[in-house]
Amino acid sequence: MTSQWYYVPVCIRFISEGDIHALSGVNLVLKNEDGQILFESTISLSHIPPHNLKDYQLYVTSSSLSEGDDVNWHPCIPSFDIPMMERRDDNLYKYLNFFKENGFKIIPNDTISRNTLMSLNILGIEPKSGSLSKIIGSDLYEVIDFANAEAPDSITIRSYPFSFTNPLLFSDFKSTGGVNLTITKEDEILGYLSDIKYLENMAGGIVTISETTGSIGLVLGNLRKYNGDGDLVFILSWEMIWKLIAKRIPNLNARPSMKLSSRMNRVRSILPVVVTEDSSLFWGSCIYYNESTLVTNNHVIKQYIDRPMLVDCKIFLSKEQTINLTNKDELFTPYDQLDLSFIKLSHENQEKLKKIDSLTPIECDYFYLTGEPVTTIGFGLYFNNLYVEPLQSNGNISAKYSLPLYNGNTSTLPCIIVTSASCWNGSSGGGLFKQSTNQLVGLICSNAQVVIPDFGDNKKENTTEKLSKIVLCIPIEVINDCYKNLHNTEKLELNDRIGHTWNLIPYHNDIIVSKPKL
């Protein structure tokens, strides 16, 4: 007899005499062909240590349980709590602990003093009055298929943010975005990273694959870099959730089968560049341009260019294999005004690169328009050499501008692309790809940085702000032309306006058009 899973998003409150918390969650119901309930549970991912639950009164509601201005909260009790990590050698613990040791906070877990990663748990609750599905009504449930995803699949988080501010307005709130990275270890999907903006009380929210019945997991929380560089949402996979629940409830024969993502043709031509000087480590990205050459930003490898005897520059081909740049590798920066450098690999390093079957030089696309869907791929925000996979982000070409590349030329070509796909520190040197072809259209250079408005309060701490979704890229046409002219005996002179454009120096004329006098 076949069976089917159904779900409805919920909101959970924790209230004690001196403390309040809120989570999002999901009520899951498994029914057979006759509509009989085989399994039901309300599940969330909680940062409240299980031994503290006795101090709180628990309440649950859903969007259908509101009547006019009234939100009906049903008292609950915990039905199970399962640690997400039991040992420090668990893959999930090691993955999350990397962030803890490298300048990140995990929200909301780190908002409770003395919390550790071991405090995180899968929490099951049930109303004191009985089945939540009977209170809500079965006609309000939606079909769910437990699935996996690949970057940059489109996803939706359904949650109840700002629960104590306005649970009516933010009821079953939908936040859309994409998967930036699928985190896999030993053929097991631990979870996913997304640049969807994390909102208060979003933890526990169900994550669905947009426009399908598929769901990939629940929001664990927000990985937030405390120097302000950026943040990512961590989504715990259903694969992990059901594996952990099955340990506590071994007679649960209804463990769902995982549907695989249908995404194919992953780009395998972006590599991390790690530059080490003394005890300081910096990283960026580079593109496998052709069989002998890598291309990146000049600022990514400038320290190595300036002091090759004192600085180490390493390129990761995989987590096990790297190549070190030496004096046998040639580095070229065609123009100071362009943040562009080529790395001509030595024969020895070329052979190492060719032996990695999964890596291939990029293919280029020259037909792209403003508004075209694109994807950024680069090693931004963090670098973990145990998980050598880039972050991917979807967006569109917001603008492109064309100029003659060299003085004396009359023909123009694109000299700058602006995209709304995200990038972060470390993404520099990565690639901008046209989604419809998976082919390269540009090289990621930098985020836009804007001045924060002066509010007249004399505070000077942060005068500028980086915009992760305004990204400047060098078009493929410029890269190819500079590469073609690398070994010209007479160096062509770059158009001054190219440098002005990249440095946002105005060179235009403002003309006020007035109505002609009669």
Residues 492-516: what's their mean pLDDT? 80
Reported confidence tier of residue 127, pLDDT bands at 50, 70, 90? very high
Residues 249-277: what's their mean pLDDT? 76
> Which tens digits make up the pLDDT trace of 455-470?
666 665 566 677 778 9
Strand residues in 345-423 grouped as ranges (E) = 373-378, 391-403, 413-419
Residues 125-131: what's their mean pLDDT? 93
Confidence at residue 121, expressed as pLDDT on a 0 to 100 scale = 97
Confidence at residue 352, expressed as pLDDT on a 0 to 100 scale = 94
The DSSP string of 76-97 is: EEEEEEEES-SSTTSHHHHHHH
**Cα 191 to the center of its chain, rounded Å:** 12
Those residues with Cβ within 8 angstroms of residue 297's Cβ, 6 or more apart along the chain or in another chain: 284, 339, 340, 341, 428, 429, 443, 444, 445
Q: Where are the domains of the chain?
A: 4-248, 270-355, 372-503
- Choose between 385 and 455: higher pLDDT: 385
Task: Return the structure tokens found at 338.
Answer: 């362009």
Q: How far apart are CA 23 and CA 128, in angstroms?
A: 19
Residues 293-299: what's their mean pLDDT? 98
Q: CB pairs under 8 A, 24+ apart, for 252-258?
A: 252/39, 254/3, 254/30, 254/38, 254/39, 256/5, 256/145, 256/146, 257/146, 258/146, 258/147, 258/148
Where is average pLDDT lowest: 104-113, 175-184, 204-213, 443-452?
Answer: 443-452
Equal CATH topology for 4-248 and 372-503? yes
Residue whose structure tokens are 């549970």: 41
Using alpha carbons only, how large is the chain's radius of gyration in Å? Answer: 26
Minimal CA–CA distance to 133: which of 32, 249, 22, 31? Answer: 31
Residues 404-415: what's their mean pLDDT? 92
Confidence at residue 255, expressed as pLDDT on a 0 to 100 scale = 64
Confidence at residue 326, expressed as pLDDT on a 0 to 100 scale = 96
Helices assigned H by DSSP within 232-338? 238-248, 298-306
Residues 108-122: what's their mean pLDDT? 94
pLDDT at 414 over 60: yes
Q: Is 130 left (phi over 0), alpha (psi -120 to 50) or beta?
A: left
Homologous superfamily, domain 270-355: Trypsin-like serine proteases (2.40.10.10)
Reported confidence tier of residue 490, pLDDT bands at 50, 70, 90? confident
Confidence at residue 247, expressed as pLDDT on a 0 to 100 scale = 85
Task: Return the structure tokens found at 348.
Answer: 């020895």
**Strand arrangement, sheet containing 311-316:** 322-324, 311-316, 270-277, 280-290, 293-296, 341-344, 330-332
pLDDT at 360 over 70: yes
Task: Say if domain 372-503 classifies as CATH 3.40.50.11900.
Answer: no
Confidence at residue 510, expressed as pLDDT on a 0 to 100 scale = 78
* Architecture of the domain spanning 4-248: Beta Barrel (2.40)
Reported confidence tier of residue 86, pLDDT bands at 50, 70, 90? confident
Residues 403-424: what's their mean pLDDT? 93
Q: How far apart are CA 129 and CA 136, in angstroms?
A: 12
pLDDT at 228 over 60: yes
Burial of 202 from C-beta contacts in 10 A (0-12 / 13-18 / 19+): buried
pLDDT at 517 over 70: no
Task: Return the structure tokens found at 492.
Answer: 């062509």
Q: What's the per-residue H, E or C state across 140-207? A: HCEECEEECCCCCCEEEEEECCCCCCCCCCCCCEEEEEEEEEEEEECCEEEEEEECCCCCCCCCCCEE
Indicate the Cα dihedral angle 380, 385, 388, 391, nearest 10°. -20
Burial of 249 from C-beta contacts in 10 A (0-12 / 13-18 / 19+): middle
* Percent above pLDDT 70 for the chain: 93
Confidence at residue 339, expressed as pLDDT on a 0 to 100 scale = 95
pLDDT at 264 over 60: no
Q: Pairing between strand 57-61 and 37-46?
A: unpaired
Give the mean pLDDT of the chain.
91
> Which tens digits make up the pLDDT trace of 297-319?
999 999 999 999 999 999 999 98
